[in-house]
Structure 1
Amino acid sequence: MNVTKHYIVPFPLKTVYAAWVSSNTVISPATRMDILPEVGGHYRLIMKSPEYTSSNEGRFLIAEPESHLRYTWEWNKDGEITEIDVRFTSIPEGTEIQLQHSGFKKQQSADIHASGWDSYIIGFCTFLEGAE
């Protein structure tokens, strides 16, 4: 099962890509990021609160600056390893983001991630607005 998303964000390509791969871009509910955006590099997202700690870990499979990323994604070592493929294109309105998140074993997981991506992009744009 796959999730396919298409977003247009009103920010320049260089800004969008740099924020996407920065450990400093922490979008709630994440509390910490650790990203090394190169082939074989890691992607770690930590969510920590008094009630729980969750994490996502993955590895970059493709890292073409300002163009294309592909990385694995696994929550809390649950065994469901999926892949995220993101393409960035400069357009007059800002940046087009084409995203495919593939390899889900359960429809419920795909649905949760589909909603999660929409929430993430809203938070990502809010983050970028504050960074300007």
Structure 2
Amino acid sequence: MADDQKEFPLKNRQAACTIDGVHTEILLTGFQDKIFAVITQYGRIGSLIHTTLDIAPHRASNPANVPTTGHFLFGESTGPQSDLYMLYASSIMQAIAAMNPYEKRPLLLGIALKPVEDMKARKAIFDQIIDVIMANPVW
């Protein structure tokens, strides 16, 4: 296994869990120039979002609250899920900055989540997904 790791320089983490009764898969890959994350409850990517930090986290007074800029490369860019997806992208980017203030790579987030109407349930799902991502860093 150690020899394979030397030949394959990408850092990968994968997790699967049941969140609010729904199977959820999370894949994280640290490329040299980007961090790629997939969060799916459908087994595929529905939207792809490119997110960058607006300033270097180590220069911010609070690296966990660094402003970000994100835009959809494809997928649902309007509607209720799009706002939630942008929140995921921004929050993941800010959490990465808080964990590693010298991280500069942008985030590519592939995401496809089942719609949830209840705001309390939506927040609980969000918190669980962010916790799984932060427990599996590739940065």
**TM class by smaller structure:** 0.3 to 0.5
Between structures 1 and 2, the one with greater helix share: 2
Structure label with greater radius of gyration = 2
Instruction: State TM-score, norm by structure 1.
Output: 0.39
